[in-house]
A and B are shown apart, each in its own frame.
Chain A
Amino acid sequence: MKNLLILGAGTAGTMMANHLRPKLYSNEWNITIVDQYKTHYYQPGFLFLPFDTYTEDQVKKVGKRFIPRNVNYIQKKIEKILPKENKVELEGETLDYDVLIIATGSKIAPEETEGLIGPLWKKDIFDFYTYEGSLALRDKLRDWEGGKLVVHITEMPIKCPVAPLEFAFLADSYFRKKGMREKVEITYVTPLTGAFTKPTCSTALAYLLKEKNIHLESDFAIQHVDNDKKEIVDYEDRKIPFDLLVTIPTNMGDEVIEKSGLGDDLNFIPTHHNTLQSLANENIFVIGDATNVPASKAGSVAHFQAETLTDNILLYMDGFPLKKEFDGHANCFIETGNNKALLIDFNYVTEPVHGNFPFAKIGPLKLLKESVLNHWGKLAFRWIYWNMLLKGIAIPFVSRNMSFKGKVFDIKPDIKE
């Protein structure tokens, strides 16, 4: 018997278990999946929890429910990966592997920024990238009386790079509905050159910030949080005051990656962009947020990666060359508030464009344009996630590689710096 070991039972790891179990003979390959946590969270829901759009129950389920019966599920902490010995140490036991899939994801590291975890943490400073943070923020917003709301990105890369912007848009709607928008000043702070960094998006979407009266502070690399003055301060001593700071802390890969010497500065694993094989070890494959590939860290990306990686693992097991197939494809709904959303479809090299999706001419979803239907698409996605995506069921008509059918390349960038 040979052993296929999957580390992490989040979106990517769970999908891989579901993809591979039916494709591998049970008398040849054991499949084991390890995760220290019992609960599987629908992370896109963390964007909606603070605004009371979703309830707690809608975003969490017992993870084991989504693992196939004939996959060995171990709920333990992963201590260390030993790539030279093909072993993984867990709390109190060691597992051997022939093929390893690392799907340990990424998480926030607020301790990386001076003063972030201080007297104001969870009082006036919140994250919404964790279940606990998102719930605490919900409770804060329920009776917040207004003031300066600062939505802030510490540094790239982050999981779901558009979520902070969506948060700012949804906050605008939320305070309007509560009849208190005039009491809230919303500022969006980014280390990048603007809220939109791709020329097609800047051109098509720049109106959104103006329409929603969101102030922009760009090129801001935070140095520390001043808890006394309630300001974030950058390396040039630029200061932005806040009453309520919603920050996206530095995102990093799991500490087990650092302990095992497998990662870069941020504990992300150097991975081949198109095959998803790790660059250092040929029997280690990496998927989802744990990789260092320059694709978005998002569930849709993990979904497209999973299809390519399944083929590549089967090819690797049989001694064939791997497919250099994964193109960085991402497909994301972006909430813009007022029950509308955008849909974007892009890959490593092609920027988001206009068009219809998934069918040329028919749609029904419109790319890079706000619509109510896109918003319903985003809400419906929660059902798709729990019932199709995690189980490895292909989403009809949406292919692993980006399709150019129905795309319209009509946006002429007109931004000047």
Chain B
Amino acid sequence: MPIKTIAGVDLNISEEGYLEDMTQWNEEIAKEIASEIGIELTPKHFEVINYLREKTAAKEALTIRQVGKSGIVDIKGLYVLFPKGPLKFSSKIAGIPKPTSCI
């Protein structure tokens, strides 16, 4: 498992760049991952990120629909915040696992 230093912290990272342990995450780490993707984080981004982290901690599977119904942002707005792959990039920045299917 690769180790990468982000925002001064040594982190276990999956081959695709997702944090292996969501408890290692902090806001500085989020900002650095986001800037690698080309996204500058605003308070709205953090509202979405914190929502995703709460749901993941509660072991709920995440869907775009669910974020759209969260009251934080609608789906179109989610695309504006995280263009070209909202769930993929928001998950990566939130330090949670990649959404997967069974293969």
Contact = CB atoms under 8 A, between A and B. Distances in A.
Q: Is the pairing of A and B real? A: yes
Given A156-B63, A294-B59, A294-B61, A415 B15 contact: yes
B59 A273 contact: yes
Nearest to A204: B103
Interface in B46-70: 59-61, 63-66, 69
A235 interface: yes
Contacts of B102: 161-162, 198, 296, 330, 332, 344, 346, 352
Interface in B35-89: 59-61, 63-66, 69, 75-76, 78-79, 83-88
A201 interface: yes
The A contact surface, by secondary structure, is loop
Contact of B16 (A199, A205, A273): A199
B75 A221 contact: yes
A139 B88 CA distance: 38
A143 interface: no
Contacts of A90: none
B12 interface: no
User: A interface, how many residues as a size bin?
Assistant: 35 or more
Contacts of A121: none
Interface in A130-188: 155-157, 161-162, 165
Contacts, number: 88
B63 A192 contact: no
Given A221-B64, A236-B84, A205 B101 contact: no
A350 to B, nearest CB: 12
B64 A198 contact: no
Interface residues of B, number: 28
A417 B17 contact: yes
B37 to A, nearest CB: 10
B103 A352 contact: yes
A236 B64 contact: no
A191 B16 contact: no
Please name the 8 residue pairs, one residue from A and one from B, whose CB atoms are nearest each other, closest first: A219-B85, A197-B100, A201-B103, A161-B101, A413-B15, A235-B79, A296-B102, A161-B102
Interface of B: 14-17, 59-61, 63-66, 69, 75-76, 78-79, 83-88, 98-103
30 contacts: A155-B65, A156-B61, A156-B63, A161-B101, A162-B103, A165-B103, A192-B99, A192-B100, A193-B85, A197-B100, A197-B101, A198-B100, A198-B103, A199-B14, A199-B16, A205-B103, A221-B75, A223-B76, A235-B75, A235-B76, A236-B79, A264-B60, A265-B66, A266-B63, A294-B59, A334-B103, A346-B102, A413-B15, A416-B15, A417-B17
